[in-house]
A and B are shown apart, each in its own frame.
Chain A
Amino acid sequence: MNKGNTPLNGKRRPDRAALFIAVFLAAIAAIIFWDVSRLAAIASYSRIGPATVPFVIACVLVVLAIWTAFEAWRGDFPERERQEIGPVVWIVGGLVAQLLLLKVAGFSIATGILFAAAAAGFGKRKLWITLPVGIALCLGVWLIFAGLLQLSLPAGPLEHLFL
């Protein structure tokens, strides 16, 4: 059971998390409206221009935001499973580390760190095992994909040993 979700026979309360979704949808609509106003200023001669379809999409998003808010208020959203934050932080952390290190450390080291972090997220916390395994595996992948299939995967100090 998460915030505001009650069993079917219980009293239904507003679902705050779902209300945030409504706000999020309205925010996307607002961004599109802002962009549409800029495009409309450039103005095309016909009535149907590049701004038309985004404008319609934004209007529908506003309707969907109101509808979502309505359902959230009535507590109509389905029950949610309990989410553990720890594993999510591990994986997102791994992805961020890969993103930041990719250019500097090269594909194998950056992706090896992601590999170890993801394994940690799934309960395998022995980094002294997973990290070397991950880096070795990624180096193998790099040799196949960059070597044989000629994909442009960034090379770092480790890859330069093989170049």
Chain B
Amino acid sequence: MNTFEFLLHGLSIAMQPMNLLYALIGVTLGTAVGVLPGIGPALTVALLLPVTYKLDPAGSLIMFAGIYYGGMYGGSTTSILLNTPGESSSIVTALEGNKMARAGRGGPALATAAIGSFVAGLIATIALAFIAPFVVKLALVFGPREYFALMVLAFVTVSSAFGDSTLRGLTSLFIGLALATIGIDQLTGQARLSFGVPDLLDGIEVTTLAVAMFAIGESLYIAAQGDRGPDKVEAVKGSVWMTAADWARSWKPWLRGTAIGFPIGAMPAGGAEIGTFLSYATEKRLTKHPEEFGNGAIEGVAGPEAANNASAAGTLVPLLTLGLPTTATAAIMLAGFQQYGLQPGPLLFATNPQLVWGLIASLLIANLMLLVLNLPLVGLWVRLLTIPKPWLYAGILLFATLGTIGANPSPFELGMLLAFGLLGYVMRIFGYPIAPVVVGLILGPLAEQQLRRALSISQGDMTVLFTSPIAAVLLTIAAAALIVPLILRARGRGEVLSQLAASED
């Protein structure tokens, strides 16, 4: 079968009534939670994971796909109407979008964001479907050492290449890696760092860590800022429909944003937010209305928003084909796969094609549902923005603990949730990024496994890691991604890098 037939087959699975229902529930929940201020896609996915616990794998992943895309759509609504974007990839949308909303053009801003997200999601998901089989073929020639090199590259780009400090990025990463070694060693069965506590033998749950760091850490941080007065929600004035001029100014940025965002997301390295910044810079340079930039230019919403969604779909390329999560959101999605004992990667395409292609096809369907949900019903979502902070965060904590209790109702697990929440709070105070901890925790054991396999094949000879050309190139890029930013920062050129911070939360 070729890609096209696989995709059609996937569509026939995704169109089954139950699966359509799962997708609809997923996009609705994803949008509703994603719209809430302060909740980005990573937390949306982590909070909603328990909803899918009792479903079959296919249904669960389809619902998950809807939650993922829904969270992205919801985030853009928040950043346009309330100048506190929930995720750093929406910061750029807020730049122009919030200005448009203040100028009474919130309707067109939301529309161009939603339609742009749809266009980008559609093109990028189809691109995902066509590129994935090639990457899978490529991945089949990868041995343990190539995988290890790839993971090292992902570690470096997620933690230290972007953001404002190499030191703090690496510290976050190694805290994650240290936590990852807790539990039973997969190759020898030895208990490591568990101190005789049975609860620690299974290791630390990725979802517990992610929910603690993102939800509890963030709530503590926001609460500790004290009362800074209410945030101003801009009312949606005017029609949500765009004028002919809006369309004329939007369609090119959509396509350019998609072309920029997808390849960046699809690269097996972190930093999916870069695409939105690049798209913004491109639109600013190409626009015929430079005077509007900074005061609400529609191109500045259309381009980055398309880039954002295209790179979200792009992130699924390394996740599905290589099992390599490059963002915190993808790390939590990988945890979602693992709860069914599924390991994304080339093998999954061979052993479970109906699952993978059903998932990809349901992304297309979710995307269409979201367009319908977001344009006419946007007024409904806006209501969610006006929930007062005490109720909102009390609710967030309720659902944050619900997920942990649902997975494992033990006081020990809740204690870990609290401990990691405090850790996340302290890290936020001192400006440590959170995403590297989550990626380190889930990717650490996989990287260790590949490293030890490579070294046991070579009987302990370390040089084997550098003698494969692919591995050597990947490790060289990783070293460059570590060293070049260090030099840039030492020379006082760090601002650009901190703007590109990959701190997704």
A interface residues with partner B (beta carbon < 8 Å): 17-18, 21, 25, 28, 31-32, 35, 39, 42, 44, 46-50, 52-54, 57-58, 60-61, 64, 67-68, 71, 77-78, 80-81, 83-85, 87-88, 90-92, 94-96, 98-100, 102-103, 107, 111, 114-116, 118-124, 130, 134, 137-138, 141, 145, 149-154
Chain B contact surface mostly:
helix
Q: Is B188 an interface residue, CB under 8 A from the partner?
A: yes
- Take A87-B226, A118-B219, A151-B406 as given contacts and tell me if A123 and B178 are in contact as well, using a CB distance cutoff of 8 Å: no
A interface SS class = helix
B193 close to A32 (CB less than 8 A): yes
* Minimum Cβ distance to chain A for residue B275 (Å): 26
A112 to B, closest residue via Cβ? B398
Evaluate contact between B394 and A116: CB separation under 8 angstroms: yes
B residues whose Cβ falls under 8 Å from a Cβ of A? 50-51, 53-54, 164, 167, 170-171, 174-175, 177-178, 181, 185, 187-188, 190, 192-193, 216, 219-220, 222-227, 388-391, 393-395, 397-399, 401-402, 405-406, 409, 411, 414-415, 417-418, 421-422, 425, 429-431, 448, 451-452, 455-456, 459-460
Contact between A145 and B174, CB atoms less than 8 A apart = no
Contacts of A84 in B (CB 8 A): 223-226
Other-chain contact of A99, B192, B226, B411 (Cβ < 8 Å): B411
Question: Are B414 and A95 in contact (CB-based, < 8 A)?
Answer: yes
**Interface contact B455-A153, CB-CB below 8 Å:** no
Q: List 5 A-B contacts (CB under 8 A).
A: A28-B178, A39-B190, A95-B418, A115-B395, A122-B222
Known: A47-B460, A49-B188, A98-B414. A124 touches B402 (CB 8 A): no
Known: A64-B167, A96-B418, A123-B227. A57 touches B178 (CB 8 A): yes
Please, how many angstroms separate the alpha-carbon atoms of A99 and B307 in the complex? 42
In whole angstroms, what is the CA distance A87 to B170 when docked? 30
Q: Which 5 A-B pairs have the closest CB atoms?
A: A87-B223, A124-B390, A151-B406, A122-B390, A119-B390
Minimal Cβ-Cβ distance residue in A for B423: A24
The residues of B that contact A124 with a CB separation of less than 8 Å are: 388, 390-391
Expressed in whole angstroms, the Cα–Cα distance for A142 and B223 within the complex equals 26
| 11 more CB-based (< 8 A) A-B contacts, given A78-B430, A114-B401, A151-B54 | A50-B190, A53-B181, A67-B167, A71-B167, A84-B226, A88-B220, A91-B219, A94-B397, A95-B397, A119-B390, A151-B53
